[in-house]
């Protein structure tokens, strides 16, 4: 018989539970006592002593190490127990048929070797009419433990039982599992008692009188602090407040059909008076074999303050048990295996037809009633959800969306929209004519935006109420606009397929996508200037290819003097004939003195030949506004530029193909500073990429997996 330490450490992972060693020691002590009690009905009440001694780690008294010992009055390490100790995957306890004993695979003690480098075991057991003592001293780097490593002698001690001492905590365990926290702040006697109460409450109560009037003593010693002593007795255990049973649906992974007999789950709720039980936190956990395994407290108590403090003057311990969970707990007993987040029919990797989603669907309503603070009202959240997002109770029922404690109105709205959009996305296969409608769009037509709105609503046609998906419709609509701009810049729209003799209007088309031509924001509210920048959507005034002398603020005052258009005409006459009738393509104004000038250049037109336009417009607008406009942001947008003609004042963007320049607006004659300028030369592709990234942020928040790709058309 041999216990391969190195092999066991490789095959059994380190538990993420910082208290796992203490829990395994106590669990084994309880099992040992139950074995003794089964053969000796007159055995004394269970007694367990857990002691922690904190010592300096090396010569540095600022770092702590600890020595742990656990003494019990169980059956001791007899021949059968010795065989089980030396067998990794043991079935020893499974065959004992002793009620309440913990079934195991013998992996728990491997955590001792994960955590510590030294182990001392001293045990006294009944050997016929006499007592026998067994001892073991393991010290790393010993690779194996064999039966011959145990010494045996006639018992000199009167009491039957076992003492296990663990020394030399591994530094990486302290750093990884305890996260470098002070050991004495985690494992003091009082902290251990609280942890044992939470962790073992279900098992200790379930064992009823089989442990007798037991006592578990805790002691902690520190070379700089006072010794702590406390204990947990049977009389300290509370009574269970509520026990409820629920069922969770299970499905056949291959067929997706519901299994006739759903899985049963028992929910035990302990409501403990905070004045009597000074617990460090509330605990809600999925359990295995009467012990907490997976903490899910944060699902029901969303903040650390709620988790770590009494709720309504009570601490709450809620334990969820099931045969299903017992069979799926991992060897480290800190999680479950083969339970998917959600059930996906036909998933070849799914071994079970029940999911966490199904479990939570069954247990959530029960637990929410148990731990929800009395001052929280679901109706308050529902009112905000309805008023701010237009989501009704009918929509909540339609999508099976529940409002639970800790939910914000936004979180509820996002869940509803996500569910509706998932339905929409599943129906997009029906949209077979999308390619023709996109490529046939004519941005300069009167019904262009109406056409886009109709197109985007095809993706939300399955919704029962348009208000259900306003936000999602906006994202879909913007995605369509970006795709059309992408096609227009590449001359891919149907209306751009013209003969060689026909006059091309590519710039006009691109212009109209951003903002309808010869309109202003007083006439048009439905535009897409957000393509350039989201904030420009909210400027005071936008004008597109309109005489500047006609532009007015909200109060009717003119922005510029009457002769400004003459000045513009003089600038334009310096340019080619095709531009001689133009004004700034788009001008956006703020009463705070900012103006954004946008100039589009048709595909193939060299933008470097027009960089002077921006500067001349800035001088003119400053002068004709009587100096009120002082900050000028200019954009030249096209697809062609000769960098050699830009000069040293332009800087290339780190990403993309664009350039920028920032400088003062200086009067060329007096040298007086008139304002500030910031100009960008952008390629259409850069504008499109920026817009796609902004849409991607919203799509990610809504989990809306909508992507207009050119290959889809």
pTM score of the predicted model? 0.57
Does residue 249 contact residue 303 with C-beta atoms inside 8 Å? no
As a whole number, mean pLDDT of residues 295-312 equals 89
Closest by CA to 16, choosing from 107, 105, 115, is 115
pLDDT at 396 over 80: yes
Does residue 86 contact residue 1 with C-beta atoms inside 8 Å? yes
Mean pLDDT, the chain, as a whole number?
A: 81
Question: Beta strands 631-638 and 673-683: pairing type?
Answer: parallel
Does residue 183 contact residue 166 with C-beta atoms inside 8 Å? no
User: What is the predicted pLDDT for the residue at 68?
Assistant: 98
pLDDT at 664 over 60: yes
Give the whole-angstrom CA distance, residue 210 versus residue 203: 11
CA distances from 416 to 341, 363, 466 (A): 19, 21, 13
User: What is the predicted pLDDT for the residue at 216?
Assistant: 97
Q: Give the total residue count for the chain.
A: 713
Question: Beta strands 541-544 and 519-520: pairing type?
Answer: antiparallel
Give the whole-angstrom CA distance, residue 343 versus residue 355: 5
CA distances from 31 to 93, 96, 158, 611 (A): 9, 11, 21, 85
pLDDT at 711 over 50: no
User: What is the predicted pLDDT for the residue at 233?
Assistant: 94
Rg (CA), the chain: 38
User: What is the predicted pLDDT for the residue at 707?
Assistant: 47
* Confidence band, pLDDT 50/70/90 cuts, at residue 701: low
User: Nearest 10 degrees: CA dihedral of 694, 700, 703, 708?
Assistant: 40
Q: Is 668 exposed, middle or buried (0-12, 13-18, 19+ CB in 10 A)?
A: exposed
User: Nearest 10 degrees: CA dihedral of 439, 517, 524, 569?
Assistant: 160
User: What is the predicted pLDDT for the residue at 417?
Assistant: 77
Lowest average pLDDT, out of 20-29, 125-134, 444-453, goes to 444-453
Q: What are residue 485's phi and psi, to 5 degrees?
A: -60, -40
Closest by CA to 251, choosing from 363, 350, 361, is 350
Question: Beta strands 242-248 and 263-273: pairing type?
Answer: antiparallel
Structure tokens given for 376: 């929280």
* Confidence band, pLDDT 50/70/90 cuts, at residue 425: low
Give 568-603 pLDDT, tens digit per residue: 555 544 543 433 344 667 777 777 788 888 888 888
Q: Characterize 22-49 residue by residue with b for buried, 16 or more Cβ atoms within 10 angstroms of its Cβ, and e for exposed.
A: bbbbbbbbbbbbbbbbbeeeebeebbbb
Give 38-95 pLDDT, tens digit per residue: 999 999 999 999 999 999 987 777 889 999 999 999 999 999 999 989 887 776 777 7
User: Nearest 10 degrees: CA dihedral of 153, 156, 162, 165?
Assistant: -90
User: What is the predicted pLDDT for the residue at 92?
Assistant: 74
Give the whole-angstrom CA distance, residue 308 versus residue 287: 20
Tell me the three state secondary structure of residue 627: coil
pLDDT at 176 over 60: yes
Closest by CA to 123, choosing from 53, 39, 51, 28, is 28
Does residue 288 contact residue 336 with C-beta atoms inside 8 Å? yes
User: What is the predicted pLDDT for the residue at 93?
Assistant: 76
User: What is the predicted pLDDT for the residue at 565?
Assistant: 57
- Tell me which range, 122-126, 396-400, 410-414, is most confidently predicted by mean pLDDT: 122-126
Does residue 598 contact residue 681 with C-beta atoms inside 8 Å? no
CA distances from 133 to 49, 81, 214, 272 (A): 19, 13, 24, 43
Percent of the chain with pLDDT over 70: 81
pLDDT at 677 over 80: yes
Give the whole-angstrom CA distance, residue 493 versus residue 506: 10
User: What is the predicted pLDDT for the residue at 138?
Assistant: 96
User: What is the predicted pLDDT for the residue at 122?
Assistant: 95
Structure tokens given for 215: 């006592």
Question: Beta strands 594-600 and 631-638: pairing type?
Answer: parallel
User: What is the predicted pLDDT for the residue at 538?
Assistant: 65
Give 529-568 pLDDT, tens digit per residue: 888 877 776 677 787 776 665 666 555 666 665 666 555 5
User: What is the predicted pLDDT for the residue at 578?
Assistant: 39
């Amino acid at each position: 018989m041999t216990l391969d330490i190195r092999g066991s450490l490789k095959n059994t992972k380190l538990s993420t539970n910082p208290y796992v060693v203490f829990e395994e020691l106590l669990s084994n002590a309880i099992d040992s006592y139950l074995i003794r009690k089964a053969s000796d009905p007159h055995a004394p009440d269970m007694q367990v002593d857990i002691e922690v001694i904190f010592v300096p780690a090396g010569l540095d008294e600022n770092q702590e190490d600890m020595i742990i010992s656990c003494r019990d009055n169980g059956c001791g390490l007899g021949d059968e127990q010795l065989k089980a100790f030396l067998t990794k995957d043991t079935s020893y306890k499974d065959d004992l048929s002793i009620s309440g004993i913990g079934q195991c695979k013998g992996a728990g003690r491997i955590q001792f070797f994960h955590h510590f480098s030294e182990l001392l075991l001293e045990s006294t057991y009944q050997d016929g009419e006499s007592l026998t003592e067994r001892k073991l001293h393991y010290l790393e780097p010993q690779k194996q433990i064999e039966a011959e490593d145990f010494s045996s002698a006639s018992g000199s001690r009167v009491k039957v039982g076992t003492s296990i001492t663990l020394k030399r905590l591994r530094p990486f365990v302290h750093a990884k599992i305890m996260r470098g926290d002070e050991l004495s702040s985690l494992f003091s006697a009082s902290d251990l008692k609280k942890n044992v109460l939470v962790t073992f409450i279900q098992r200790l109560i379930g064992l009823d009188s089989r442990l007798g009037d037991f006592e578990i003593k805790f002691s902690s010693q520190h070379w700089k602090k006072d010794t702590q002593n406390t204990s947990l007795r049977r009389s300290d255990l509370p009574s269970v407040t509520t026990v409820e049973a629920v069922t969770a649906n299970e499905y056949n992974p291959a067929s997706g059909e519901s299994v006739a007999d759903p899985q049963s789950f028992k929910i035990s709720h302990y409501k403990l008076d905070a004045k009597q039980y000074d617990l460090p936190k509330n605990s809600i956990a999925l359990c295995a074999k009467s012990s907490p395994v997976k903490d899910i407290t944060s699902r029901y108590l969303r903040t650390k303050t709620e988790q770590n403090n009494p709720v309504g003057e009570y601490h709450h311990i809620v334990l969820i048990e099931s045969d299903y969970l017992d069979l799926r707990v991992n060897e480290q007993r800190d999680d479950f295996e083969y339970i998917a987040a959600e059930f996906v029919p036909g998933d070849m990797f799914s071994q079970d037809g029940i999911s966490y989603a199904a479990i939570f669907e069954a247990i959530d309503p029960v637990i929410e009633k148990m731990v929800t603070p009395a001052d929280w009202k679901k109706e308050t959240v529902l009112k905000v959800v309805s008023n701010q997002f237009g989501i009704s109770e009918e929509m909540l029922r339609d999508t099976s969306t529940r409002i639970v404690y800790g939910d914000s109105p936004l979180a509820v709205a996002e869940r509803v929209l996500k569910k509706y959009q998932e339905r929409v996305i599943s129906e997009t296969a029906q949209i077979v004519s999308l390619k023709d409608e996109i490529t046939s769009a004519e941005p300069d037509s009167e019904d262009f935006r109406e056409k886009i709105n109709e197109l985007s609503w095809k993706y939300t046609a399955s919704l029962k109420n348009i208000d259900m998906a306003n936000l999602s419709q906006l994202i879909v609509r913007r995605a369509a606009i970006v795709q059309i701009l992408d096609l227009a810049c590449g001359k891919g729209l149907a209306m751009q397929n013209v003969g060689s003799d026909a006059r091309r209007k590519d710039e006009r088309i691109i212009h109209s996508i951003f903002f309808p031509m010869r309109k202003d924001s007083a006439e048009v509210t439905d535009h897409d200037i957000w393509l350039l920048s989201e904030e420009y959507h909210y400027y005071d005034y936008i004008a597109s290819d309109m005489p500047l002398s006609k532009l007015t603020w909200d109060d009717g005052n003119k922005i510029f003097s009457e002769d400004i258009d003459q000045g513009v005409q003089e600038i334009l006459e310096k340019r080619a004939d095709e531009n001689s009738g133009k004004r700034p393509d788009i001008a956006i104004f703020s009463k705070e003195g900012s103006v954004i000038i946008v100039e589009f250049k048709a595909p193939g037109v060299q933008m470097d030949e027009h960089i002077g336009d921006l500067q001349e417009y800035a001088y003119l607008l400053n002068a004709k506004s009587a100096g009120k406009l002082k900050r000028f942001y200019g954009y030249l947008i096209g697809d062609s530029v000769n960098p050699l003609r830009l000069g040293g004042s332009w800087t290339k963007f780190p990403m993309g193909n664009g350039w920028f320049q920032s400088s003062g607006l200086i009067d060329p004659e007096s040298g007086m500073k008139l304002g500030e300028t910031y100009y960008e030369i952008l390629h259409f592709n850069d504008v499109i990429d920026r817009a796609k990234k902004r849409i991607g942020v919203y799509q990610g928040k809504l989990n809306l997996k909508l992507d207009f790709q050119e290959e889809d058309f």
